[in-house]
Amino acid sequence: MKTDARGNPVTTNSDEAIVAIDRYADTAIALKPGMDAVVAAADAHRDCAMLQACAASLFATAQSSAIARRGHSYLERARARFADLTDRERTFIDAVGAGCDGDFDRAIALYEQIASLWPRDLLAAKLAEFHFFETGLARRQLALMETIAPANSDSSHAQAMLAFAYELNAMRPQAEEIARAALEREPLTMWAQHCLAHVWAGESRIAEGIAAMKHYTPTWNRFGQYIQSHNTFHLATFHRAELDFPRVLDAYRRHIWGFQPDAVVEQTDAILLLWLVELAGGDAGTRWREIAPHLRKRAHEQVFPFLNAIFFFALERAGESSEVDRSLDAMRRYAENLAGPAAQVWADVGLSQARGCVAYARGNYDRAAELLGRVLPAISIGGGSDEQRGVFHETHFMSLIKAGRKADANAALASYVGARPATKLDHRWLRLASA
């Protein structure tokens, strides 16, 4: 029995296995490059169950059911040693297994157990954070991060995860305070930078956001492609709020699309940015067609509804209506076979969400407004962050504008903008809704 860098017991006699576990946890929590090295390490140390579970967790977080299934062989190795393991290890393995099976609710419940009993396990908290993104359970996310915070006062990454949980619950002053404290402790805490981008966007602090993210930009290339692309995505959305489309599309080309085009996280940033450009009055041109070939396979998977909606929209904008119809039918058949909470997520909310986005892409604005308006109050259960889900609110009120329902559009827009200061983009929308 040995211990990892956070003091958690690990059932192994191998120092090399512990080094590999610590390296993986560090790269996953800090969003550094090199996470995939855990697979080779797991193959080299097959008798270390926790290392097998770490390898499986890499596949569980790929946002693809096909890729997640690749984690099963590693889980089989881990479970073969179940009788020899600690309770924490067994719970961790079961949580990763639930994630690989797409049972995110069970995975979260198990990670909540770990947070309560073994709060120093920051990797478990990071994996839970990922599944909270897939389910929109922001209140439970905050509860978990508050649970682990006292035991991890030494970690800027724990602070950043807590800050982001506050942000997702619209508690932005608390989020900003904790994110800034994390950056004072360690300026290269990427998730704290990311959290502040959400805060500034949510409060329309556009100039501040642009200046700060530009200041942070030189640090991003030390980290994985995900953080480089995603933090650039947030910088680009600030330029969009200023209606500076050349800078937005330059960011798309130079930093967001074309690096790992089969990775769902890159596809998500690219789709949302082009969609947001169009909703703001810009022109995405032929860029949809360069994304589409990488989406066809993923569009038939049922991971969480947010992904279906954005994949279907992008494929429709690329002119692949037949592919969209087939994917929608697969989603319908999947949803019809569900019961309980899963049926609410997929049948009650997810299908209308996806159909509304497709209707908008096809120019059926009345239909889009009706479908999206029906589900917006509950749309968080389909996944995505607060800012990412904004694309559905914007598509809804743009549907109302294009359908000629100006009074309804004004009401929807006022609700969306709320008390935050109006940006140049908001003023553009207000003019459209009043014309």
User: Does pLDDT of 336 surpass 90?
Assistant: yes
Residue written as token pair 């697979």: 39
Neighbour-count burial for 360-370, b at 16+ CB within 10 Å, e otherwise: bbeebbebbbb
Q: What pLDDT does 4 receive?
A: 97
What are the pLDDT digits (tens) for 36-81? 999 999 999 999 999 999 999 999 999 999 999 999 999 999 999 9
User: Does pLDDT of 174 surpass 90?
Assistant: yes
Q: Could you tell me what percentage of the chain is helix, strand and coil, using 3-state DSSP and rounding each to the nearest 5?
A: 75, 0, 25
**Alpha carbon of residue 41 to chain centroid:** 27
Six token digits for residue 233: 């995505």
- Cβ atoms < 10 Å from Cβ of 414: 12
**What domains lie within the chain, and their CATH numbers?**
1-134 (1.25.40)
Q: What pLDDT does 288 receive?
A: 98
What are the pLDDT digits (tens) for 263-278? 999 999 999 999 999 9
Q: Is the dihedral of CA 291, 294, 300, 302 positive or negative?
A: negative
User: Does pLDDT of 298 surpass 80?
Assistant: yes
What are the pLDDT digits (tens) for 110-145? 999 999 999 999 999 999 999 999 999 999 999 999
User: Does pLDDT of 419 surpass 90?
Assistant: no
Contact (Cβ atoms closer than 8 angstroms) between residue 108 and residue 131: yes
Give me the percent of the chain exceeding a pLDDT of 90.
Answer: 98
Neighbour-count burial for 302-337, b at 16+ CB within 10 Å, e otherwise: bbbbbbbbbbbbbbbbbebeebbeebbeebeebbee
Three-class secondary structure of residue 10 per DSSP: strand
Q: What pLDDT does 107 receive?
A: 98
What are the pLDDT digits (tens) for 218-233? 999 999 899 999 999 9
Q: Is 59 left (phi over 0), alpha (psi -120 to 50) or beta?
A: alpha
User: Does pLDDT of 435 surpass 80?
Assistant: no
Rounded Cα–Cα distance for residues 36 and 42 (Å):
10
DSSP letter string, 376-412: GGGGGGG---HHHHHHHHHHHHHHHHHTT-HHHHHHH
Residue written as token pair 């067609």: 289
Residue written as token pair 């037949």: 322
Banded pLDDT at 385 (limits 50, 70, 90): very high
DSSP letter string, 31-48: T-S-TTHHHHHHHH-TT-
Q: What is the pTM of this model?
A: 0.97
Q: What pLDDT does 314 receive?
A: 98
